[in-house]
Amino acid sequence: MAHPKDHSKIGIGRSIAVLTSGGDAQGMNAAVRATVRVGIYTGAKVYFVHEGYQGLVDGGDNIKPATWESVSMMLQLGGTVIGSARCMDFKEKWGRLKAACNLVKLGITNLCVIGGDGSLTGANQFRTEWSELLADLTKQGKITAEEAKRSSHLNIVGMVGSIDNDFCGTDMTIGTDSALHRIIEVVDAITTTAQSHQRTFILEVMGRHCGYLALVTALACGADWVFIPEMPPEDNWEEHLCKRLIAQRERGSRLNVIIMAEGAQDRKQKPITCDQVKNLVSKKLGFDTRSTVLGHVQRGGTPSAFDRILGSRMGVEAVMALLEATPETPACVVSLSGNMAIRLPLMECVQVTKDVTVAMAEGRFEDAVNLRGKSFQNNWNTYKMLAHVTPPEVKSNINIAIVNVGAPCAGMNAAVRSAVRAGLIQGHQMLAVYDGFDGLANGQIEPITWAQVGGWTGKGGSNLGTKRHLPSKNIEQISLNIAKFNIHSLIIIGGFEAYQGGLELVTAREKYEELCIPMVVIPATVSNNVPGSDFSIGADTALNTITTTCDRIKQSAAGTKRRVFIIETMGGYCGYLATMAGLSSGADAAYIYEEPFHIRDLELNVKHLIEKMKTSVKRGLILRNSNANDNYTTQFLYNLYSEEGKGTFDCRMNILGHMQQGGTPTPFDRNFGTKMGSKSVLWLTDKLKECYRHGRIFANTPDSACVLGMKRRSLIFQPLASLKEDTDFEHRIPKTEWWLKLRPILKILARGPPRMCPPALMFSLPEEPWMCLVQTQGLPEVWRVQ
């Protein structure tokens, strides 16, 4: 059998330096770790540049070789381990001359820069004048002609690390999601005390020139008002704000929350401050008002699972971009576009970013929002609809029912809240169905009001109650209740049972005319196994729970030394959680159903761990999806590793269980659920108009019953019937799963350099492991449907 060619050689003779510059952001360490490990894997020599551009200028011990082990235990650390600094010296030509000299002496011709637009602009300038710098250094006698020839061109690649998400050209920047985690933790804490005292709280978040953090926070916590620099409030906003706060109190709310970006301004570009708003509310309304400026707490803490995975994937892509670059290749930035990591010309992205600032300065606020991209526009439009539109006096006579189906998960309540309020804004009556399809059959159906769903965004589980039972056994009773309660359309929020139950209702339309109503399924399950969507509500919260637990377990293993932990995750037959948690926690292996494994694979992994124990990293982490293999159970793996590791390492086993379904929703799940709920109601409203015939609703076409899913950059509706061909009903998973293409990254980052890997293990990797990385980098937008 011919082995695939050895890809661990393509970087031989190449040197790569990685630096972090400007402000720090959680997830930078993941990018550094991936850059180092993939660089070493390809045979390149990799260097750390400590203290950003200042370290590049000062040289000496600031530029050190990186090793595989030197980036161990880096994933879970916030900030940047290699340091960052604002460097004035690099802005001067003499500083760049010193930096160039330091790189030439070490033979470094590839530079990976992780920072904001200023840092990346500086990198591009450095590359542009590289030949001139070499000529000056040669003339001054600081480098030889031979050294100049060997370093004749400099390749640059950038990754954007910024908590503000203020760089145009990428859907998300490294650090943004983690900053949202910090903000929402504070908002949740403040909300409890505000409710106790019926207070109004004003929170200022970072974002001097970009309102992304403020806007997404407002969506995720259901804020009453948000101030962002891209879209200042209309003139006479003070009066509108006060009316809004009073209206909320009259609806039964015990608190008000106002979110402000630090760069908030009015339409005349005069700053709007926390104190200004506090004084307005206190004096005009007499409300007990408090203000909080979060400051640098947003930059700190442990990176979220998303930022770790994003940083890791971008780091892999950055190395491949450098190794494929030619002297003619322009400096590029690795950007996230939906489900892809793409390389874009660096300076074009920088220019668009600057265009936003210019548009705001010139008062072209609509243009500023549009230049931020479709994601930002969608966030703004959703917020406006849910927060600033008053339900109409004239009702539509349409009744929309909402039911939760399957296992509970974080984010379900956010979707229900959004759907209820969007429906009321459209003039519909919204009906809550309690306890799943059983409740629909038993008539557990009640109207639900605006005030009833207040505060639901941040609550975990399912307030409506949910069960796994499918509707098939109660179809007749369900159809009778649909007629009895005059239900015109149905929103089904849940996992695979919701999808399967929706199909059963559609099939039963032939016999029961009452079921000929528009329906939409919103995927909500920790397993992320619903066909038609790259992501499900609840999966992000579960992933962060697993990641946090793995961090603690690794910390324990690092203390005791020579210990391997076997951890079982949820997911049924879907290996999404195990794979993504493996990436975010730095696991040595993740066993899943979709990628069959055999005793030979287990033997190779044991050998890998034995080799690993000879290094300074004396610990191991193995993940297994709950239904990965009927015979190779978690207990079997524990017994096998314990026996084979005798004398080298010992083992412990953890089955995480239902803790993965609990907890408060992450910012992503709140935001995703909010968008999905509102979009489903708007779609149903249009579909009801199409299906209204002869004084009644009649919908029996395939496109009248859809799954609302995230596909690449968009939320799209797909007929339930059309998804059957892509469904493995026996194992309750889609037949095509985008995240499987990330498996090579997990293996490359975990297995170690060639000397640590048994030859057979190296051959088990794909022939072109990075080709699938290059083509599939990035995450579906919602991580960030922002």
Predicted confidence (pLDDT) per residue in 255-294, tens digit: 899 999 999 999 999 999 999 999 999 999 999 999 999 9
- Residue 764 tokens read as 């088990």
Tell which residue, 659, 730, 716, 733, has the closest CA to residue 496.
733
Higher-pLDDT residue of 338 and 173 is: 173
Q: Is 163 annotated as ligand-binding?
A: yes
Mean per-residue pLDDT, 336-362:
87
Q: Is 117 annotated as ligand-binding?
A: yes
Question: Does 543-663 match 390-537+666-726 at the fold level?
Answer: yes
Q: Is 86 annotated as ligand-binding?
A: yes
Q: What is the DSSP track for 654-685?
A: EE-GGGGG-SPPPHHHHHHHHHHHHHHHHHHH
Confidence at 751, pLDDT banded by 50, 70, 90? confident
Confidence at 117, pLDDT banded by 50, 70, 90? confident
Q: How far is CA 437 from the centre of its chain?
A: 31
Q: Is 629 annotated as ligand-binding?
A: no
Instruction: Give me the pLDDT at residue 374, please.
Output: 85
- What residue spans define the domains of the chain? 15-173+303-357, 176-298, 390-537+666-726, 543-663
194-203, 618-627, 683-692: range with lowest mean pLDDT: 194-203
Confidence at 777, pLDDT banded by 50, 70, 90? very low
Q: Which residues pair with 639 in a beta bridge?
A: none
Q: Is 61 annotated as ligand-binding?
A: no
Q: What is the DSSP track for 79-144?
A: S-TT-----SGGGSHHHHHHHHHHHHHHT--EEEEEE-HHHHHHHHHHHHTHHHHHHHHHHTTSS-
Q: Is the pLDDT of residue 401 over 80?
A: yes
Tell which residue, 306, 526, 520, 247, has the closest CA to residue 411.
526
Instruction: Give me the pLDDT at residue 339, please.
Output: 67
Amino acid sitting at position 472: S
Using alpha carbons only, how large is the chain's radius of gyration in Å? 27
Instruction: Give me the pLDDT at residue 782, please.
Output: 31
Q: Is 494 annotated as ligand-binding?
A: no
| Lookup result for tokens 């947003």 | 298
Domain 543-663 is classified in which CATH homologous superfamily? Phosphofructokinase domain (3.40.50.460)
- Residue 709 tokens read as 């899913």
Confidence at 754, pLDDT banded by 50, 70, 90? low
Q: Is 118 annotated as ligand-binding?
A: yes
pLDDT in tens, 123-156: 999 999 999 999 999 999 999 999 999 999 999 9
Q: Is 3 annotated as ligand-binding?
A: no
Q: Is the pLDDT of residue 771 over 70?
A: no
Q: Is 570 annotated as ligand-binding?
A: yes
Instruction: Give me the pLDDT at residue 696, please.
Output: 87
Burial tier of 235 (Cβ tally within 10 Å: 0-12, 13-18, 19+): exposed
The phi and psi torsions of 395 (rounded to 5 degrees) equal -90, 160
Mean per-residue pLDDT, 180-207:
90
Q: Is 712 annotated as ligand-binding?
A: no
Which residues lie below 8 Å from residue 108, measured CB to CB, with a gap of 6+? 15, 16, 17, 47, 63, 151
For 15-173+303-357, CATH gives 3.40.50.450
Q: Is 110 annotated as ligand-binding?
A: no
Nearest 5°: the CA angle 541, 574, 29 is: 50
- % of the chain at pLDDT higher than 70: 94
Instruction: Give me the pLDDT at residue 757, please.
Output: 52
Burial tier of 599 (Cβ tally within 10 Å: 0-12, 13-18, 19+): exposed
Higher-pLDDT residue of 778 and 666 is: 666
Confidence at 557, pLDDT banded by 50, 70, 90? confident
Instruction: Give me the pLDDT at residue 252, please.
Output: 83
Mean per-residue pLDDT, 91-101:
95
529-538, 658-667, 674-683: range with lowest mean pLDDT: 658-667
Ranked by mean pLDDT, the top range of 189-203, 375-389, 543-557, 764-778 is 543-557
13-22, 96-105, 187-196, 352-361: range with lowest mean pLDDT: 187-196
Burial tier of 410 (Cβ tally within 10 Å: 0-12, 13-18, 19+): buried
Q: Is 603 annotated as ligand-binding?
A: no
Instruction: Give me the pLDDT at residue 767, please.
Output: 37
Mean per-residue pLDDT, 70-83:
91
Q: Is the pLDDT of residue 220 over 60?
A: yes
Q: Is the pLDDT of residue 778 over 80?
A: no
Instruction: Give me the pLDDT at residue 336, please.
Output: 85
Confidence at 435, pLDDT banded by 50, 70, 90? very high
Q: Is 527 annotated as ligand-binding?
A: yes
Distance from C-alpha of 379 to C-alpha of 513, rounded to nearest angstrom:
38
The phi and psi torsions of 311 (rounded to 5 degrees) equal -60, -40
Q: Is the pLDDT of residue 193 over 50?
A: yes
Mean per-residue pLDDT, 583-596:
95
Higher-pLDDT residue of 437 and 783 is: 437
Instruction: Give me the pLDDT at residue 387, please.
Output: 83
Instruction: Give me the pLDDT at residue 770, please.
Output: 39
Instruction: Give me the pLDDT at residue 768, please.
Output: 40
Residues classed as catalytic: 164
Confidence at 368, pLDDT banded by 50, 70, 90? very high
Q: Is 563 annotated as ligand-binding?
A: yes
| Lookup result for tokens 């930002």 | 376
Nearest 5°: the CA angle 492, 496, 498 is: 20
Q: Is the pLDDT of residue 669 over 80?
A: yes
- % of the chain at pLDDT higher than 90: 75
Q: Is 520 annotated as ligand-binding?
A: no
Higher-pLDDT residue of 548 and 615 is: 548
Say which CATH topology domain 390-537+666-726 has.
Answer: Rossmann fold (3.40.50)
Cβ–Cβ < 8 Å for 748, 307: no
Q: Within 10 Å of residue 403's Cβ, how many Cβ atoms? A: 29
Return the percent helix, strand and coil in the chain, to nearest 5.
Answer: 50, 15, 35
First to last CA, the chain: 48
Instruction: Give me the pLDDT at residue 388, please.
Output: 67
Structure pTM? 0.92
Q: Which DSSP letter does residue 76 get?
A: T
Q: Is 324 annotated as ligand-binding?
A: no
Q: What's the CATH class of domain 176-298?
A: alpha beta
pLDDT in tens, 714-746: 899 999 999 999 999 999 999 999 999 999 999
Q: Is 87 annotated as ligand-binding?
A: yes
Q: Is 23 annotated as ligand-binding?
A: yes
341-345, 463-467, 777-781: range with lowest mean pLDDT: 777-781
Q: Is 516 annotated as ligand-binding?
A: no
Mean per-residue pLDDT, 46-55:
95
Mean pLDDT of all residues belonging to the chain: 90
Instruction: Identify the three-state secondary structure at position 282.
Output: helix
pLDDT in tens, 436-493: 999 999 999 999 999 899 889 999 999 999 999 999 999 999 999 999 999 999 999 9
5-9, 13-17, 94-98, 528-532: range with lowest mean pLDDT: 5-9
Tell which residue, 361, 380, 298, has the closest CA to residue 79.
298
Ranked by mean pLDDT, the top range of 189-203, 227-241, 245-259 is 227-241
Tell which residue, 294, 274, 178, 125, has the closest CA to residue 548.
178
pLDDT in tens, 413-423: 999 999 999 99
Answer left, alpha or beta for residue 317, where phi above 0 means left and psi between -120 and 50 means alpha: alpha
